[in-house]
């Protein structure tokens, strides 16, 4: 610990007390107005915090922000809050981000935009000096955004690779297929819940808090945050390996019981203890050290104009309201009426009732129309055809997104590799437990665009929603089980040629 030292502070004055007494109700009123404008998104964030185990730590973020502000209260009282028009740029940036997220159907962009607008309200109504004093609590509010699910696939892959390395180190024969590990005692899936994403996300939030509260040195803060990222990843790989190791020497039921005992808050507590134990002796900030020096930030508190503060707060709310108004004016399209999708009747292909092998079905929640059909060629090859049609797109009702498409996260299938390029589409291979890979061709149709790129779909949806253009979208997926050691791509290419142009098939699905 560093030695205690006195920090000179500017004295609290009657002007600063009066300024705070007037500023606090204004900033609270402006923030409440923004929350009312975006109540749906605020409620959506709260629902995710409450229902998702990955983001349940977000429930503690608001109390922690309150504690951080309370910690700084003696120093903040010596600063003078005042209206600051440049802070409105932050509100505008948040409003633009929310509008883009709403137009593209990206929830994280809307949530981030809302948090940014609230931060901008604080900055604009309290001024640059107070903002400097509140800089960490304001930045810590970014952890309110439920983000990080995109880490799941790479963390699954990292965990699987770590398991394989440790299994080979212990002389246990194993084979890796995507995220499926096969040993002599069975096969194991490194599922989403086993990726360690929830622990890593929570650990980063905890690490950021501890780095600010316990350290002054920038280098030590960086080193601590590095450990907060690396240790959970390594610990999760060891945990997953331990589960497989227990199964190797006992059975899968015992291994499952072991995993349920180890996994969860006990595992999280052990990882936190390990992180803090390694870092304790390097803490260089005393618990009662002031968070900042107000005399250094604002040696002489300026006079605050209350009318300017009110005007800035009103301007902040009006800027926040602008994207909501625009979305109402540009609203277009609507849900498709329930109707059966007209399926093609390709020559030399016979409709059959079911496929063979490990069952497969894509996931398109909220689709207005959906059809899944199976066709058999003369040589016995079976190709599955899935069509999903949407009249418009919104949250929970979109053609592309996490967990939407050829791979249902709740199924036993997972992405394996991308395939050879296909015109106006995307080719990929998905794998399941054992030797049951499938080759897949994916096509999206939105407006007059046919593509296999999810990014282009998002951009076209964004353009359509911003301009009020039709947002109808269709996904078409062709899938076939690959022969052992081979590929089903020739059969998929033949079937694609037999059903005719993809754009015509997609357009028929929305009529």
> For residue 9, what pLDDT band results from cuts at 50, 70 and 90?
very low
pLDDT digits (tens, 9 = 90+) for 443-464: 999 988 999 999 899 888 888 8
- For the segment 239-245, the average pLDDT, to the nearest whole number, is 81
Percent of the chain with pLDDT over 90: 42
CB contact set of 384 (below 8 Å; sequence gap of 6+): 355, 360, 372, 373, 374, 375, 477, 478, 479, 480
pLDDT digits (tens, 9 = 90+) for 250-259: 665 555 555 5
Q: pLDDT at residue 161 above 80?
A: yes
pLDDT value at residue 260: 54
Question: What is the rounded CA–CA span in Å between residue 247 and residue 244?
Answer: 5
pLDDT value at residue 144: 96
The structure tokens 């994207």 sit at: 323
- Nearest 5°: CA angle at 155, between 153 and 156? 65
Q: pLDDT at residue 6 above 60?
A: no
> What is this structure's pTM?
0.77
pLDDT value at residue 94: 97
Residue with the larger pLDDT of the pair 284 and 397: 284
Which range is most confident: 31-45, 292-306, 334-348, 419-433? Answer: 31-45
Question: What is the rounded CA–CA span in Å between residue 107 and residue 146?
Answer: 9
């Amino acid at each position: 610990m560093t030695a205690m030292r006195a920090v000179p502070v500017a004295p609290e004055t009657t002007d600063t007390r009066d300024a705070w007494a007037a500023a606090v109700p204004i900033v609270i009123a402006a923030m409440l107005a923004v929350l009312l404008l975006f109540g749906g998104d605020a409620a959506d964030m709260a629902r995710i915090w409450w229902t998702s185990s990955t983001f349940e730590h977000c429930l503690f973020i608001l109390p922690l922000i309150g504690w951080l502000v309370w910690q700084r209260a003696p120093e903040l009282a010596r600063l003078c809050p005042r209206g600051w028009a440049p802070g409105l740029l932050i509100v505008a940036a948040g409003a633009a981000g929310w509008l883009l997220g709403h137009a593209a159907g990206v929830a994280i962009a809307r949530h981030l935009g809302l948090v940014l607008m609230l931060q901008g309200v604080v900055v604009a109504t309290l001024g640059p000096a107070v903002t400097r004093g509140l800089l960490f609590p304001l930045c810590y509010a970014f952890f309110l955004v439920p983000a990080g699910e995109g880490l799941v696939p790479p963390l699954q892959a990292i965990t699987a690779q770590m398991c394989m390395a440790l299994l080979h180190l212990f002389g246990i024969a194993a084979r890796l297929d995507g995220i499926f590990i096969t040993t002599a005692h069975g096969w194991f899936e490194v599922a989403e819940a086993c990726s360690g994403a929830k622990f890593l996300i929570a650990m980063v939030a905890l690490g950021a808090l501890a780095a600010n509260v316990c350290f002054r040195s920038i280098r030590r803060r960086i080193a601590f945050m590095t450990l907060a990222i690396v240790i959970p990843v390594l610990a999760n790989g060891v945990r997953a390996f331990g589960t497989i190791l227990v199964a190797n020497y006992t059975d899968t039921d015992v291994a499952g019981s072991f995993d349920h005992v180890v996994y969860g808050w006990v595992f999280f507590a052990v990882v936190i203890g390990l992180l803090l134990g390694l870092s304790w002796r390097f803490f260089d900030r005393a618990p009662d050290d002031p968070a900042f020096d107000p005399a250094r930030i604002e040696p002489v508190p300026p006079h605050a104009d209350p009318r300017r503060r009110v005007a800035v707060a009103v301007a902040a709310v009006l800027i926040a309201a602008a994207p909501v108004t625009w979305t109402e004016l540009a609203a277009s399209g609507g849900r498709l009426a329930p109707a059966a999708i007209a399926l093609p009747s390709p020559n030399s292909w016979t409709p059959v009732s079911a496929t063979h092998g490990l069952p497969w079905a894509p996931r398109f929640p909220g689709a207005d129309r959906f059809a899944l059909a199976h066709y058999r060629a003369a040589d016995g090859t079976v190709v599955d055809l899935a069509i999903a049609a949407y009249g418009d797109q919104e949250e929970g009702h979109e053609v592309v997104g996490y967990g939407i498409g050829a791979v249902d996260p709740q199924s036993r299938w997972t992405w394996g590799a991308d395939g050879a390029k296909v015109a106006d589409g995307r080719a990929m291979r998905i794998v399941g437990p054992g030797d049951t890979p499938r080759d897949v061709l994916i096509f999206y149709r939105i407006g007059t665009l046919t593509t296999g790129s999810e990014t282009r779909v998002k951009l076209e949806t964004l353009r359509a929603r911003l301009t009020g253009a039709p947002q109808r979208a269709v996904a078409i997926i062709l899938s076939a089980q690959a022969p052992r050691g081979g590929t089903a791509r020739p059969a998929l290419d033949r079937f694609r040629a037999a059903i005719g142009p993809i754009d015509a098939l997609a357009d028929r699905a929305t009529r």
